[in-house]
Amino acid sequence: MTNLNSLANALVSINNNEVRRNKQAIIMPASKLIVNVLRVMQKEGYVGEFEYIDDGRWGKVTVQLLGRINKCGPITPRFSLTYRDMINLPDYIRRYLPSKEIGIIIVSTSKGVMSHKEAARQRVGGIALGYVY
């Protein structure tokens, strides 16, 4: 299983648990990429605390849901974004968000995983991984 598929499974699992109004989601298998994406979502206020559990196999992450996510999911295929793209999101990325001011695009940059707003502040480009609003 590649990181893209496991990241997609994690975001869809979070979305499904939010729709069902569950208080927490369990994500398996866990990876560093998923943990970094969860950190960005936590920093932006979409999820609460999360905990990595080493079960001796793949590992899993339990995520406390706050009920603030309307929709989240992966962006496939992954698109490269330049610094200027972070400021004025192009149409092929903007279709994932309901409005320019609502939600975030999660981006993998040379300085780590961050939101598109943070990447624009730091003036770095990267690859779009997923969206949350």
As annotated, the residues of the chain forming the CATH 3.30.1370.30 domain(s) are 6-65
Please state the pTM of the whole predicted model: 0.91
Residue 18, phi then psi, degrees to nearest 5:
-65, -40
- Residue keyed to tokens 């999820």: 47
Contact 7, 34 (CB under 8 A): yes
DSSP E strands in 1-133: the ranges are: 24-27, 47-53, 60-65, 72-74, 80-81, 104-109, 112-115, 126-132
pLDDT one-digit tens code per residue, 69-122: 999 999 989 999 998 988 888 888 889 999 878 999 999 999 999 999 999 999
Q: Which CATH number is associated with domain 6-65?
A: 3.30.1370.30
As annotated, the residues of the chain forming the CATH 3.30.1490.10 domain(s) are 72-132
Q: Which CATH number is associated with domain 72-132?
A: 3.30.1490.10
Contact 93, 106 (CB under 8 A): no
